[in-house]
Structure 1
Amino acid sequence: MNILLINHYAGSDYHGMEFRSYYMGREWVNMGHNVTIVGADFSHLRKKNPTVKNDFEEEIIDGITYVWVKTPEYKGNGLGRVKNIATFMYKLRMNYKKLADKYKPDAVIASSTYPLDIYPAHRIAKRSNGKVFFEIHDLWPLTPMEIGGYSEKNPAIVMLQKAEDFAFKNSDKIISILPNADKHIRERGFSTDNYVNVPNGIIISDEKKNPPMESSIERLQELKEQGYFLIGYTGNHSPANSLDTMLDAAKKTKDEKVKYILVGNGNIKDELIEYAKSNNITNVEFLDPVLKDNMENVLKLLDICYIGLRKEKLFMYGVSPNKLFDYMLAARPIIYSIEASNDPVTDANCGISVPAEDSDAVVEAVLKIKNLSDEEKVAMGNNGHKYVLENHTYHGLAEKFLNALK
């Protein structure tokens, strides 16, 4: 099968986020299929962007043909990003015949955060006599409406809503990362007979990696040697992740041998550091991000992993955070401070679920897990490890996605 996947922000192990399209594509290539991923050459999510001089340039990565579309660079979420998206969409619209004729896809997947790429995907599929598929990452325009407070009459929202409705009406299959997005589709007045949930997952590798020692790991080792019980968060420091709840919990935790650790960067890291200083929260440490190959070494040094999200009606359609599955794979007990329609931590019995933005409940969960026996903590972590291997390996997920394409 010839598969063409459009993802504006597609990355790889060599470029950084986003990884899902790359992992799916790599599995499909290993299954004997031809995979082409079309992405913008510039994305704010990647650690390293490809160097592209022409409008369209090919690069082969692990058997996948990447087609990089030249777009302008930008910072933040202002007009620069809008121009970047508009350029990507315009070049796909003007060159859909060339893409269809060259790659002859049997399946065309529109797989971006925003739904506008359904239009070129639909044109390419029609030209190549293939089928078109819409992959939901986040619900747009519902996300900016719920979180950003945008009116449904805002011109950008109207445009995005028109594109989402077009996708729901014209796609041969709708594949969603979110487990309960079918509820939203029905609320929009469309059938969900063609709906399939394929969540995020993890990669299992037999390759032995020896990444260099990093300062964050050295500091964690020091704290462990000093006898501290460590509650850790790893990843992006953004408002959505409810990290102020974690800091408030740290302030309320009276046990002197407990420390809260935040590993990573993000647009509110400086604010969180200042918040901790101004509130005299002394049992929290902010550590630098580590290499991807070192994340397992970080997680092994944590006694509990924390994951949180703000209270949002949006989560009634479910969540599928990659971070959670990394925690499970590392066999760590988890505190899940999220209110959503799904709760993998409870399903797996691998930690404690608490209400979102409730620091008192986080403290209670920390002390409850801390007071478990070593055997009970190990069993809790192992439950998550078993669950993620049974339900979230990318090999199994790629097979499920491929069955939907067939």
Structure 2
Amino acid sequence: MKIVWLKTLKYTVAKSPRRILGWLHFEWNLLFLDKAKLPRPDVIVVSSLSLFTILNGLLLRRKYKCRLVFEVRDIWPLTIIEEGGFNKDNIFVRALSFLEKTAYKRADVIIGTMPNLAEHVKKETGLDRPVFCIPMGVSEDHLSETKPLADDYQSTFFSKPKFRIVHAGTIGITNALEPFFQAAEALKDHSDIEFLMVGDGALKPHFQKVYGHLPNLVFAPKVSRDRVQSVLVNADILYFSVYPSKVWDYGQSLNKVIDYMLAGKPIVASYSGYPSMINEADCGVYVPAGDVDSLVACILDMKSKSPGDRNDMGMRGRRWLLEERNYPKLAKGYMDAIFERRH
């Protein structure tokens, strides 16, 4: 496989004008790239972001008379309207909306990581378009790459016999972690239950200030990527959450969920969107996003189950993940989709 790198304007902050300028810089470089020495393609794949690339994709399809695939990893501009506070009438948002609709209407195939993307495409275009879900995948190699925790980390955070609810990841504005801390507060008199927050982020100091006094709440430092599984296997429940948002109406394929399922532990998720993965594998429970009472009730219900029942639940997730989301299976699905293979 030949890879051509196009250097573009660097940026350090995701929400910055330089990021947008970087997108435009990429399109300019791609437009004027000398393509004479490149092999003739069978398929052009435009992977968002950036949405601007659909324009170059349409030109390349016309040039090479080949198929054009539009790959959706984040639904824009819906994401920045719902979670970034942008008004739908903002001129930048309207421009992105035009590009999005153009991509949905004119691509030969649409592939997304979210399982209900077809509903969004129809809502935006009024058309039944060829939409396929090829979600994030996993390999058993991920397990062989796992390193053990340092002895002092293990002894500090996992030596006490507690029923542990663990969240591992960024402690940031978009992570909707308020229910986790509020549930810890509601269960503070349950001395055998511990809430463990593993990671760092912009809101960590705030949560430490507000909830750091709780006797059943522990903050642990982030670990390297190859030690995440070694943290997760020490949990009794793994937790993740999102804010209520129209973005989730079309489903999710989050790396966090993959990590959690791979650990073979039950999952509790504060999530009100289109259900997938956890319900398909029967390896956990969804509770309404932001509903602390439901979360507390779910935690207590999970605790009431036998360790064997919880282990069975968690292992169902791991088996399902390795069977349904392995790379060979996803690669075959991708090839079938882009070349319209039928079985």
- The reply to whether TM is greater than 0.5 is yes
Which residue of 25, 31, 42 corresponds with 1:87? 25
Counterpart-to-counterpart distance in 2, 1:187 and 1:298:
41
**What is the deviation of 1:167?**
0.5
**What is the deviation of 1:206?**
7.8
Counterpart-to-counterpart distance in 2, 1:207 and 1:243:
27
Which residue of 229, 233, 240 corresponds with 1:307? 240
**What is the deviation of 1:190?**
4.3
Counterpart-to-counterpart distance in 1, 2:142 and 2:260:
18
Which residue number in structure 2 is paired with residue 344 of structure 1? 277
**What is the deviation of 1:304?**
0.8
The SS at the match of 2:125 is: coil
Report the AA paired with residue 349 of structure 1: D
Which residue number in structure 2 is paired with residue 42 of structure 1? none
The size of the alignment, in residue pairs, is: 338
Deviates most, 387-396 or 329-338: 387-396
The SS at the match of 1:298 is: helix
Which residue of 130, 140, 162 corresponds with 1:204? 140
Which residue number in structure 2 is paired with residue 246 of structure 1? 180
**What is the deviation of 1:210?**
6.3
Whether the 8 Å contact between 2:27 and 2:52 is mirrored in structure 1 is yes
Q: Structure 1 regions of 5+ residues with no counterpart? A: 1-33, 37-64
Counterpart-to-counterpart distance in 2, 1:203 and 1:66:
27
Whether the 8 Å contact between 1:74 and 1:84 is mirrored in structure 2 is no
Is residue 274 from structure 1 mapped to residue 212 from structure 2 by the alignment?
no
Counterpart-to-counterpart distance in 1, 2:142 and 2:107:
37
Root-mean-square deviation (Å): 2.2
Whether the 8 Å contact between 2:104 and 2:129 is mirrored in structure 1 is no
**What is the deviation of 1:139?**
1.2
Which residue number in structure 2 is paired with residue 159 of structure 1? 95
Which residue number in structure 2 is paired with residue 389 of structure 1? 322
Instruction: Tell which has more relative contact order, 1 or 2 (C-alpha 8 A, sep 6+).
Output: 2
Counterpart-to-counterpart distance in 2, 1:107 and 1:73:
30
Which residue number in structure 2 is paired with residue 104 of structure 1? 40
Which residue number in structure 1 is paired with residue 119 of structure 2? 183
For each residue in 1:98-152, what CA deviation from the matched residue of structure 2 results, as whole angstroms up to 9, or x when unmatched?
2475142221111123422111222233323322110111211111122233222
For each residue in 1:319-368, what CA deviation from the matched residue of structure 2 results, as whole angstroms up to 9, or x when unmatched?
22121122111110110110012243223221222111112222221221
**What is the deviation of 1:94?**
2.6
Report the AA paired with residue 312 of structure 1: S
Which residue number in structure 2 is paired with residue 70 of structure 1? 8
For each residue in 1:144-176, what CA deviation from the matched residue of structure 2 results, as whole angstroms up to 9, or x when unmatched?
122233222211111101111111121110001
Report the AA paired with residue 120 of structure 1: N
TM-score by length of 1: 0.77
Which residue number in structure 1 is paired with residue 225 of structure 2? 292
Q: Structure 2 regions of 5+ residues with no counterpart? A: none
Which residue number in structure 1 is paired with residue 82 of structure 2? 146
Whether the 8 Å contact between 2:248 and 2:273 is mirrored in structure 1 is yes
Structure 1's 182 and 350: CA in aligned 2 closer, same or farther, altered over 3 A? same
TM-score by length of 2: 0.91
Whether the 8 Å contact between 1:140 and 1:161 is mirrored in structure 2 is yes
